């Protein structure tokens, strides 16, 4: 059970961080409800009520807190910055210039951050242009134009508004990281994914009252959600600890090293990235068919809709593939082995150098497979449960991983502040990785 919550307001620094974070979240939520100029909101809402589910727009709208279906100034969200960060992270391991900058320390990291911002503007501009063209050609099911007066003027002001909104969110995220609590970008996505939860919950309650969902099915749904969240927390926190021994070194009159520690390898190193990549690829056929209007393409795309056997098999396979692929990029066993050898560290029973790198790579390959299979199941099964129970609550793998990951990070930082002030942690029993005390 949670405890020492009354101690949080007594710690001035922690209190100010939490209040600042809440204030920035409030600004973000207000921005997701400010519409773009020149858009008919009622026609757009009518269109999205029938066409949001099962397309890439539905997935994207989760990350931007519903701003896309409202055509708000934050409609592009923070996703361009995340995409730019992922691209720069991938290029850092493959482009020698960026790799050298990464090794130069603080100066190199500042340059990489600057390049990430430039790339964010480019990606946001491309996405904003696509959204403006999409809105210009859009009509509601009743035939009303979403943009009554389309043209170059509308496209220009939409692109400027959406890019400015993304850059403002990027600035808010950086400010939250520096002056608030938790990683600002992650907290913004966390707040966005929770946007539709109350609406989905009340819709499900109404279905229960009207007989759309049986009480047994509703109870089963609640139990599955609780067990799913608990399982995600358990797997997310799971580690394979490799023992590390540091040899003693004599420097002048002092002796360094000699202690034992461990190298923690997490089961879910790639986080939610594999699910996002897999969903984006599998949603492409349905979106191409949707925009083309071709009946033949729509028949092909129907094989790739959620719930079909082809979709589930491809989705699970892509999640496992991207889990290995992304982990191989962000976690370099050779670099880990070199760093251990540089600081006179070694794994007992394993020779330093290449043998250590091979050992770490072998252990990572073994622990990634069960974790990837688990998250593939988490990403696929909830859809079938929602379809069977007729519930309106979406608890797919993407949303759960984001909510659980950010919540654990926030609790860890709050707990660290409490322990620094000689308070006990938030929980009576159990610990989150990285906690002490």
Q: Which residues contact 130 (CB under 8 A, 6 or more apart)?
A: none
- b (16+ CB within 10 A) / e for 123-144: bbbebbbebbeebbebebeeee
The reply to whether 238 and 156 lie within a common domain is no
Whether 253 shows a pLDDT value over 70: the answer reads: no
Whole-number Å distance between alpha carbons of 21 and 211 = 41
Which tens digits make up the pLDDT trace of 204-246?
Answer: 888 888 877 888 888 888 888 888 888 888 888 888 888 888 7
Same domain, 302 and 179: no
What does the pLDDT look like over 260-298, one tens digit per residue? 788 888 887 777 778 777 876 777 666 666 555 566 766
Does 273 reside within a domain? yes
340 and 370 inside one domain: yes
Q: Which pLDDT tens digit goes with each residue over 370-394?
A: 888 888 888 888 778 877 777 767 6
Residues 150 and 215 in one domain: no
* Residue 66 is assigned to a structural domain of this protein: yes
Report if residue 408 sits inside a domain: no
249 is a domain residue: yes
Q: Are residues 253 and 149 in the same domain?
A: no
Indicate whether 180 and 225 sit together in one domain.
no
Are 179 and 251 in the same domain? Answer: no
| Full domain range(s) for residue 83 | 1-195
In a domain, 342, yes or no: yes
**Statement to judge: residues 26 and 42 lie in one domain:** yes
Residue 1 pLDDT level (bands cut at 50, 70, 90):
very low
Which pLDDT does position 23 carry in this prediction?
93
What would you report as the CA-atom Rg of the chain, rounded to the nearest whole angstrom? Answer: 24
Residue 152 falls inside a structural domain: yes
Q: What CATH number is attached to the domain comprising 262?
A: 1.10.3370.10
Q: Which of 195, 211, 227 is the last residue of a domain?
A: 195
Residues 324 and 367 placed together within one structural domain of the fold: yes
Last residue of a domain, one of 195, 216, 236: 195
The reported pLDDT for the residue numbered 434 is 47
pLDDT greater than 60 at residue 430 = no
Q: Choose between 168 and 218: higher pLDDT.
A: 168
> Do 291 and 263 fall into the same domain?
yes
Judge if 122 and 159 occupy the same domain: yes
Asked whether residue 179 falls in the same domain as residue 225, the answer is no
Q: What's the whole-number mean pLDDT along residues 417-436?
A: 57
Q: How far apart are the first and last CA of the chain?
A: 16
Residue ending a domain, among 160, 195, 230, is 195
Q: Is residue 431 part of a domain?
A: no
Q: Is the pLDDT of residue 249 over 90?
A: no
pLDDT digits (tens, 9 = 90+) for 319-367: 888 888 888 877 878 888 888 888 778 888 888 888 888 888 888 888 8
Task: Quickly state the pLDDT bin for 172 (edges 50, 70, 90).
Answer: very high
Higher per-residue pLDDT: 116 or 6: 116
Within a domain: residue 23? yes
Domain count, the chain: 2
Q: pLDDT tens, 22-63?
A: 999 999 988 888 888 888 877 877 777 666 555 556 666 777
Q: What is the model's pTM? A: 0.77
Q: Tens of pLDDT along 66-124?
A: 777 788 888 888 888 888 887 887 788 778 888 888 777 778 888 888 889 999 999 88
């Amino acid at each position: 059970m949670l405890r020492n919550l009354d101690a949080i307001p007594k710690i001035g620094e922690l209190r100010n961080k939490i209040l600042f974070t809440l204030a920035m979240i409030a600004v973000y939520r207000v921005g997701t409800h400010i519409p773009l100029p020149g858009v008919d909101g009622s026609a757009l809402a009518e269109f999205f009520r029938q066409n949001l589910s099962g397309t890439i727009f539905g997935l994207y709208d989760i990350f931007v807190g519903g701003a896309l279906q409202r055509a708000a100034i934050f409609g592009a969200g923070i996703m361009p910055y995340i995409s730019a960060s992922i691209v720069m992270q991938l290029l850092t391991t493959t482009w020698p210039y960026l790799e050298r900058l990464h090794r130069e320390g603080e100066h190199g990291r500042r340059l990489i951050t600057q390049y990430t911002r430039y790339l964010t503007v480019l990606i946001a501009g491309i996405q904003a242009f696509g959204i403006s063209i999409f809105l210009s050609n859009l009509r509601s099911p009743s035939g009303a134009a979403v943009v009554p007066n389309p043209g170059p003027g509308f496209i220009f002001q939409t692109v400027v508004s959406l890019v400015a909104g993304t850059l403002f969110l990027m600035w808010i995220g950086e400010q939250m990281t520096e002056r608030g609590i938790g990683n600002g970008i992650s907290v913004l996505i966390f707040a966005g994914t929770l946007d539709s939860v109350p609406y989905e919950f009340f819709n499900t309650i109404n279905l229960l009252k009207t007989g759309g969902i049986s009480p047994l099915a509703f109870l089963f749904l609640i139990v599955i959600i609780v067990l799913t969240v608990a399982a995600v927390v358990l797997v997310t926190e799971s580690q394979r600890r490799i023992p590390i021994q540091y040899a003693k070194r004599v420097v002048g009159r002092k002796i360094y090293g000699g202690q034992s520690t461990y190298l923690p390898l997490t089961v879910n190193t790639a986080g939610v990235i594999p699910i996002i990549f897999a969903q984006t690829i599998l949603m492409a056929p349905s979106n191409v068919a949707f925009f083309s209007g071709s009946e033949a393409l729509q028949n092909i795309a129907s094989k790739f809709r959620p719930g079909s056997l082809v979709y589930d098999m491809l989705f699970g396979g892509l999640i496992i593939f991207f889990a290995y692929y992304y982990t191989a990029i962000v976690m370099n066993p050779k670099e880990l082995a070199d760093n251990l050898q540089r600081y006179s560290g070694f794994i007992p029973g394993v020779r330093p150098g290449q043998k250590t790198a091979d050992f770490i790579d072998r252990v990572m390959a073994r622990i990634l497979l069960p974790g990837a299979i688990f998250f593939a199941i988490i990403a696929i099964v909830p859809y079938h449960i929602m379809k069977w129970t007729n519930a309106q609550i979406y608890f797919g793998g993407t949303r759960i991983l984001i909510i659980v990951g950010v919540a654990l990070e926030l609790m860890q930082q709050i707990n660290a502040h409490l322990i620094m002030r000689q308070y006990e942690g938030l929980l009576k029993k159990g610990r989150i990785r990285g906690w002490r005390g």
